[in-house]
């Protein structure tokens, strides 16, 4: 959260100190009245159920008969339940595809592009950003078709004489997960590029001149100036893409539903199944809590790292 709020937080402190005590107290109640609808809606939809989730996660409950207190055994399952452990490994693979690949490609292209303004930049930006506005269902449908046994990917492989490499990509135990991952790469690539290219343009010219005077070549310049200058953008890209991999559901649900076998299950998919299909509600709640803790931890750690090097 403070990824972006750090810049606005400082003026706040000044403003609060400058305001007279008594008046600010009265205005504080007025402010509370204005904020009340939002606080109530948020509390009702998010916070109260969130706390209930914590409570649920200590029970074993099939959604119908009485719930039974089981302590932390739902959390222990993260180490003992093979299906759950497997889904966590899948997340690691997805992180490579959803996060690392697009970030690396984004950085390479930002480095290659340098700081020159390109004519038609707006058009490129529009195109690169397009996957971000498509609903996940449409993305999934497009790629399900591309990966199909008689889809364009195999057709292309056949056409160039590589027919031996053709697969039923999403139906293959070994290929389904990386194929899914590449969909995430495709979605995030343009986003990372747009983000990083915008970041590079914001780096002050003096830093580059300085580096050049110090005799830095393009590679040294990239590591000494560009990469540190993109810290904030990197933090955003990391947080978004890693949590995206952790939460992967829509894509998986529409393309493979976790199959073939269990080769593409994700924690969010298991959560959905355990919560609504064959209820083990306590376990589902525990998965939700663990996912949330991971997301929070990632956001905080990435944010902390990017700020530390800042100072």
Partner 1 sequence: MISRTERTLNHAVLAVASILVVFPVIWFIFAALSPESSGRIDLTQLTWGNFATAWQAGSFGPAMFASAVITVGAVAGQTVLAILSGYAFGILGVIGQKVIFPIILLGLMISSEVFIIPLYYQFHAIGLTDTWLGLIIIQIGMGVPFGAFWMRATFRAVPPSLVEAAKIDGAHSWRILWQILFPIVRPATFTLVLLSFMWTWNDFFLALVFISDPSKQPATLALGVFQGQHTLNVNLMAAGSLIVALPVLLLYVFFQRHFIQGVISGAIKE
Residues 189-228 that bind partner 1 (CB under 8 A): 189-191, 193-195, 198
For CA atoms 258, 261, 267, 270, the dihedral sign is: positive
Cβ neighbors of 46 (< 8 A, separation 6 or more) are: none
- Minimum CB–partner distance for residue 223 and partner 1 (Å): 19
Binding-site size for partner 1 (CB under 8 A) equals: 105
284 scored as a contact of partner 1 (CB under 8 A) = yes
**Choice from 1, 83, 165, 301 touching partner 1 (CB under 8 A):** 1
Collapsed DSSP state (helix, strand, coil) of residue 235:
helix
**Choice from 88, 292, 305, 307 touching partner 1 (CB under 8 A):** 292
DSSP state of 168: -
User: What residues between 230 and 269 interact with partner 1 by CB under 8 A?
Assistant: 236, 239-240, 243-244, 247, 249-250, 253-254, 268
Place of tokens 């971000």: 132
Place of tokens 């990197």: 234
User: What residues between 3 and 42 interact with partner 1 by CB under 8 A?
Assistant: 3-5, 8, 11-12, 15-16, 19, 24-25, 27-35, 37-39, 41-42
* Backbone φ and ψ of 69, nearest 5°: -65, 125
User: What residues between 141 and 200 interact with partner 1 by CB under 8 A?
Assistant: 141-146, 150-152, 186, 189-191, 193-195, 198
- Minimum CB–partner distance for residue 204 and partner 1 (Å): 18
83 scored as a contact of partner 1 (CB under 8 A) = no
The helix/strand count (H/E) of the chain reads as 17, 2
Collapsed DSSP state (helix, strand, coil) of residue 115:
coil
Helix axis angle, 281-308 relative to 231-247, nearest 10°?
170
Can you list the pairs that 274-281 forms with residues at least 24 positions away whose Cβ atoms lie under 8 Å?
A: 279/61, 279/62, 279/63, 279/64, 280/60, 280/61, 280/62, 281/56, 281/59, 281/61, 281/62, 281/63, 281/67
CA pair distance 56, 67, nearest whole angstrom: 9
- Minimum CB–partner distance for residue 113 and partner 1 (Å): 5
Q: Which is nearer to partner 1, 81 or 250 (CB)?
A: 250
Q: Which is nearer to partner 1, 150 or 174 (CB)?
A: 150
Q: Which is nearer to partner 1, 111 or 177 (CB)?
A: 111
Q: What is the CA radius of gyration of the chain?
A: 24
Q: Which is nearer to partner 1, 92 or 277 (CB)?
A: 277
301 scored as a contact of partner 1 (CB under 8 A) = no
- Minimum CB–partner distance for residue 141 and partner 1 (Å): 5
User: What residues between 98 and 127 interact with partner 1 by CB under 8 A?
Assistant: 105, 109, 112-114, 116, 118, 120-122, 124-127
- Minimum CB–partner distance for residue 311 and partner 1 (Å): 21
């Amino acid at each position: 959260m403070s990824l972006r709020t750090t810049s606005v937080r400082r003026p706040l402190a000044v403003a609060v100190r400058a305001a007279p005590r008594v008046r600010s107290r009265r205005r504080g109640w007025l402010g509370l009245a204005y904020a009340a609808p939002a606080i109530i809606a948020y509390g009702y939809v998010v916070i109260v159920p969130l706390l209930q989730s914590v409570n649920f996660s200590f029970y074993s409950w099939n959604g119908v008969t009485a719930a039974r207190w089981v302590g932390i055994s739902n959390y222990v399952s993260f180490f003992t339940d093979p299906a759950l452990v497997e889904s966590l490994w899948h997340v690691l693979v997805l992180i490579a595809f959803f996060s690392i690949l697009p970030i690396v490609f984004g950085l390479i292209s930002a480095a290659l592009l340098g700081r020159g303004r390109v004519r038609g930049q707006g058009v490129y930006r529009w195109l690169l950003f397009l996957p971000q506005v498509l609903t996940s269902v449409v993305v999934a449908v497009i790629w399900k078709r591309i990966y199909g046994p008689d889809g364009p990917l195999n057709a292309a492989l056949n056409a160039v004489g590589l027919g031996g490499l053709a697969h039923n990509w999403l139906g293959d135990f070994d290929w389904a997960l990386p194929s899914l991952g590449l969909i995430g790469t495709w979605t995030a690539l343009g986003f990372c590029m747009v983000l990083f290219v915008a970041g590079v343009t914001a780096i002050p010219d003096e830093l580059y001149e300085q580096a050049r005077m110090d005799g830095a070549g393009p590679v040294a310049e990239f590591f000494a100036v560009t990469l540190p200058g993109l810290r904030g953008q990197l933090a955003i890209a990391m947080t978004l893409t890693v949590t995206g991999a952790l939460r992967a559901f829509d894509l998986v649900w529409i393309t493979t539903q976790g199959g073939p076998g269990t080769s593409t299950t994700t924690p969010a998919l298991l959560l959905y199944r355990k919560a609504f299909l064959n209820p083990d509600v306590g376990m589902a709640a525990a998965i939700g809590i663990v996912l949330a803790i991971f997301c929070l931890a990632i956001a905080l750690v990435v944010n902390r790292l990017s700020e530390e090097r800042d100072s």
